[in-house]
Amino acid sequence: MKRFPRRAALLAAAAVALLPTTATAAPAYPDPLPLTGRQIIHDPTVHQLGNGQYVAYSTGGVIGARLSTDLRDWTDAGNAFTTPPSWWYDYNSSADPWAPDLSYRDGRYWLYYAVSSWGTNHSAIGVATSPSGLPGTWTDHGPAFTSETTDTWNAIDPAIVRADGRLWMAFGSYWTGIRMVELDRTTGKAIPGATIAHLATRPDAPYAVEGASILHRGRYYYLFASYDACCAGVNSTYKIRVGRSTKVTGPYTDSTGTPMLNGGGDLLLASHGRYIGPGGESTFRTHGRTWLAYHYYDADDNGTPKLGLNPLSWTKDGWPVPL
């Protein structure tokens, strides 16, 4: 209960037109922004494009796309690609892509995504570029990074971040958790022979940490990650934790100093009310603030996965708080 006055003060100070207009959640976990239209989504990555529209790409389809002009009302916009690139079938018999990551640099939009199958780390992360970021405009450039059954990591769930003029990609899941590799800024692909850094894991098998997203703010890099079990509707136990580091490659620790390599991570968002298993998160900036995008399973709609959006505020000592 001690957190409630602090959160109320943050809400009042940060009130803007886009913030949720209701507050029915438990004090520690705010409800997501009320949305209309096409809300069904999984593992969203959200970005405001040069034309002012917001796009959300996601798992499913040939990288499913949603568009919005105001973050509140979303329409189905088809897929990033009209047909799956042929190489996807080497990693998934139905060419089903997972967990995309959208970013912008060097005059182009960059879309990273995973192609894999359940229960194996014979996986690949692909990369595509577009001049506009809109669905149907993407050119695929093949695998940016791969993993095999002999590796102790899994090449899924990409997350791109720039640091000190260099380009990095966090990735990983079960198979020892979150890893990181440096990318070539020109090709957008992993530098051959690059060291694979280790960012987060659990001390207990099956090391259920995945869905990384990294945000640079001030002197820190913040690592957001999804813990526990995804993709089971109302039985999902996903939750979002966060740690930070002064270096992009870590070590990342939580507010108590516990390393994320030892199961640490402050609990940022967990199940509450109808909003079950929030995870598959990413962050984006718009209207001068940082937002958290994720999926949750709607207990009032048979566990349907839907888009969650919350703005982030920050404590005096620099930790994120969803509003």
Q: Which residues does the annotation mark as catalytic?
A: 43, 210
Separation CA 34–CA 13 (nearest Å): 20
What are the angstrom distances between the C-alpha of 246 and each of 95, 202, 219, 241? 38, 21, 6, 18
Cis peptide bond N-terminal to 251, omega within 30: yes
Task: Quickly list H helices, the chain.
Answer: 3-13
Distance CA 6, CA 188 (A): 42
Q: Which two tokens stand for residue 313?
A: 């505020």
Distances in whole angstroms, Cα of residue 317 to Cα of each of 123, 196, 248, 284, 310: 39, 30, 19, 21, 20
Residue 290, by phi and psi: left (phi above 0), alpha (psi -120 to 50) or beta?
Answer: beta
Distances in Å between the Cα of 71 and the Cα atoms of 43, 50, 55, 67, 274 are 17, 15, 9, 9, 21
Q: Shortest CA distance to 154 belongs to which of 109, 110, 209, 108?
A: 209
